[in-house]
Amino acid sequence: MVYPIGSPVRQQLLIYLLAVAALFRAALCLTCYLCSSVNHSDPYCEDTFNTDYVGVNYLQPECMAPRKDRRGYFPADHCIKVSGVSSEYAMSALL
């Protein structure tokens, strides 16, 4: 069935398709926590699973990262959390 231009059914279908496209774009965005703490200098960074801290926002809405053999930055496809302890220098780091 073909609906004429300007018909309510056609307008509703267009609105629906635009809403689905907007949701699909939002689902493709990757967010990452971005912080660092050396010798526990930033306790909020130590627990990145708790986002209830007032005034602290480590969440980056659209993470960008370099890609091998490419110039520039592109939307990230994963996040990495690195935690380490140096016995030689007696320090810990969380990146």
Confidence grade of residue 3 (pLDDT, cut at 50, 70, 90): low
Instruction: Write the CB contacts of 59 (distance below 8 Å, at least 6 apart in sequence).
Output: 31, 32, 33, 34, 51
Q: What is the pTM of this model?
A: 0.51
pLDDT in tens, 39-48: 888 888 876 5
Confidence grade of residue 91 (pLDDT, cut at 50, 70, 90): confident
Is residue 65 a contact partner of residue 76, using CB atoms and an 8 Å limit? yes
pLDDT in tens, 19-40: 776 665 555 567 787 888 888 8
Structure tokens at 26: 């939002």
Confidence grade of residue 71 (pLDDT, cut at 50, 70, 90): very high
Q: What is the pLDDT of residue 69?
A: 92
